[in-house]
Structure 1
Amino acid sequence: MATFGLIGYPLSHSFSRGYFTEKFQQLGLDDTHKYLNFELTNINQFKKILDEYSDLVGCNVTIPHKRAIMAVLDEVDPVAERIGAVNTILVRDRRTYGYNTDYLGFRDDLVHRMAEQGFSFARGRAALILGTGGASLAVAEAFRSLGVPYTFVSRKPAVGQLSYGAVTAEVLATHTLLVNTTPLGMYPRVDAAPDINYELLGPAHFCYDLIYNPAETTFMQRARGAGAQAANGLGMLHQQAEASWAIWTGE
């Protein structure tokens, strides 16, 4: 039986397992395909998974192993190398290949959600990436592929980055895409949000939150309250899963 799985720790809630189990049923593959959760406290345990499941075709990777997994793979895709994180593994002939589909999921869903709400990637549009953690690197790669200039915003900005206090009306006049890559506002601390002046936002702005629980974050609520459009990260989750499936099946 073709085996797929999710690597992470802890895995108290697994979007991937439910998503792919349902997908297998819809495709009539539930008798020949299965999806398991692999809770690994140490990434070196991945070799044991490979030894135990000779029919392993591929895995998704979630926190806290997206970076560490790269060291135990045979090959890593150049884009994933540039991002510095792997969230999809292909196993073929006992060799392992690492990819990043987070940036594809974000890119494709962002374009779709903006089009739904009447936005386009017009010339001169630039982005602010709120946060500088691992997720921000996938977002930056997506903007690079779209030709959208971007600037990171951080509580402790490095050279070339902005502090939250430096997100002024002048900055927002040209940076009309804002993406929250921080965990601020994620359940259960739903009242939190990135510390920007939301009153400076307006109809020209589109605000995307990678968080999908809750479906309507405080970041989104405050953006919409100022007249901006907004979207959450649930579509990104679906899109990155489909990109993983395409890698595993070669479609």
Structure 2
Amino acid sequence: MKTYGLIGYPLSHSFSKKYFTEKFLHEGIADHQYELFPIEYITSLPGLLEVNPSLCGLNVTIPHKISVLDYLNEIEEAAEKIGAVNCISIKKFGNEIYLKGYNTDAYGFEASLKPLLKPQHDKALVFGDGGAAKAVKYVLQKLNIDYQVVVRKATNGAILYGDVTPEILKSHKLLVNTTPLGMLPDIATYPAIDFMQLDAGHLAYDLVYNPLETTFLTKAAERGAAIKNGLEMLYKQAEKAWDIWNNIP
């Protein structure tokens, strides 16, 4: 039996478990299982690996995407630059366990964003500066898209929502929400910007996928902007994780 799983805390629901369980069923992949491992502290990881010798790969979610770095033998270049890992390959060499960390969020975001980009999307506003924003900023840099981070509390390198002028909104045609604003059950919340400044040249991307259309996306669409939720990104990163676990030496 090959086991894959998700570590994080708490783990009340999981896209990954549903995705991989259905994948194994529909594709006739026998002797594979995907389990949830709710560990509150990353210090529990070595013990988890010891009592689950069939583990071949892990997904990593909050709050461990950064703290897990100290437990890895190797980190891919992208994950190292981002400073966060959400996928781990587990290889065994005799009695030794070798862990390599990856960031598939960046892959998923880039793969789902690129088909939508147009020439005017050369400047972006990134709402929020948490863990999810790390992968977004990495991809924007890779695509040579200038970006400005917008936050609610003052921090270096970012501006406050109150500082987002009409001129900034008109010149930054790509808007990316990396915050949980608008996620169920708080669906009425959204980044506090002046949506009246948006037009058909804007692209609003929300990493939130539950609900499929957040208030942020609805308000942007009302102004004629193109919109995209985070569901495809989620599927893309899951597909990348499977490839890492099975096809990358």
> What is the CA-CA distance between 1:127 and the residue it aligns to?
0.8
Task: Find out whether 1:200 has 2:203 as its counterpart.
Answer: no
Match among 124, 132, 137 for residue 135 of structure 1? 132
- Aligned residue for 1:44? 43
Aligned amino acid, residue 15 of structure 2: F
Instruction: Tell me the TM-score normalised to structure 1 length.
Output: 0.92
Give the Cα separation in 2 of the matches to 1:124 and 1:9: 36
Offset of residue 160 of structure 1 = 3.7
Matches within 5 A, 1:61-210: 61-93=60-92, 94-112=97-115, 114=116, 120-122=117-119, 125-210=122-207
For residue 150 of structure 1, report the CA deviation from its aligned partner: 1.1
1:78 positional shift:
2.4
Report how many residues are paired: 244
What is the CA–CA distance in structure 1 between the aligned matches of 2:125 and 2:7, rounded to whole Å? Answer: 31
1:17 paired with 2:17, answer: yes
The TM-score with structure 2 as length reference comes to 0.93
* 8 Å contact kept, 1:191–1:218: yes
Paired residues of 2:205 and 2:227 also in contact (CA < 8 A): yes
Unaligned runs of 5+ in 1: 115-119
Unaligned runs of 5+ in 2: none
Partner amino acid, structure 2, of 1:107? E
Alpha-carbon deviations, 1:90-126, whole Å to 9, x = none? 00121001111101111111124x2xxxxx3426721
Deviation at 1:244, TM superposition (A): 0.7
Q: CA deviation at 1:174?
A: 2.4
Query: Distance in 2 between the 1:157 and 1:10 partners?
Result: 28
CA contact (8 A) 1:80 1:99 kept: yes
CA contact (8 A) 1:107 1:142 kept: yes
2:235 matched residue in structure 1:
238
SS state at 2:181 partner = coil
Give the whole-Å Cα distance in 2 for the aligned partners of 1:171 and 1:47: 47
**Runs ≥4 in structure 1, deviation > 4 angstroms?**
none
- Following superposition, the deviation at residue 88 of structure 1 comes to 0.1
C-alpha distance in 1 between matches for 2:90 and 2:70: 15
Query: Residues 44 and 160 (structure 1 numbering): CA distance in 2 closer, same or farther, change over 3 Å?
Result: closer
1:117 is aligned to none
Contact 2:170 2:197 (C-alpha < 8 Å) held by counterparts: no
Question: Using the alignment, how far apart are the partners of 2:124 and 2:237 within structure 1?
Answer: 21
Alpha-carbon RMSD across the aligned residues, in angstroms, is 1.5
Report if aligned partners of 2:122, 2:144 keep a CA contact under 8 Å in 1: no
